[in-house]
Structure 1
Amino acid sequence: MGKEYTAKSFKSGNSVAIRMPAGLGIEPDREWIVARDDNGDLLIKPRGPHGKRIDLTGIYGSKPGLKPLEPEDRSLSGRELDWSGQRLARD
């Protein structure tokens, strides 16, 4: 086992949280899997690659005609930007 730190639990809403010491180098806003083993010890593991993902399994197919975009529908055409704040004439 590596270096040990002392952490304190505190009440946060209806939950109890543990503030992790900065020396552990834990990134903020990361999801963790927390479990308790047979001895009663807490096990904490990072959950997959960080970054939030949206689960669309319940949405896809629920609306008739809803289908993924084709690659040609994803490309955007460039346009001239007006940095002066005046409106540009549209073609």
Structure 2
Amino acid sequence: MSTDRMSELHRLFGSAPWLKVRERRDYRVKVFQSGNSVALRLPAELGLKPGLEMNLRVENGEIVSVEPVERPKRKFNAVKVAGSASDLTLLTDADRTFADRPLSWQGRDEGSAA
């Protein structure tokens, strides 16, 4: 598709990605034996890192998509930082007390809408 045609379609569809033409590239890949399994050799041009876990979607016996699996977010490990802030002091009861002040909702009728 020509560049003029693509820019015309982009202007027409705007920010509706479900209506835009998807970029499609075809690669010739090789299936080979790897232990007791078969493996698919993917081109380095795709930018995939070795060891990356992928999700393979198959519908009616045909491969539909291959997408990276989202890794779970790392959890914070408090044990690694425990004791690292040794110069901190605990709050006293006086530090936990706040002075009374008028609040914005005080004095309103209970039945009135805010």
- TM-score when normalising by structure 2: 0.41
Please say which structure displays the higher CA radius of gyration. Answer: 2
Whose helix proportion is higher, 1 or 2?
A: 2
- TM-score when normalising by structure 1: 0.50
If asked which structure has higher relative contact order (CA below 8 Å, sep 6+), I would say 1
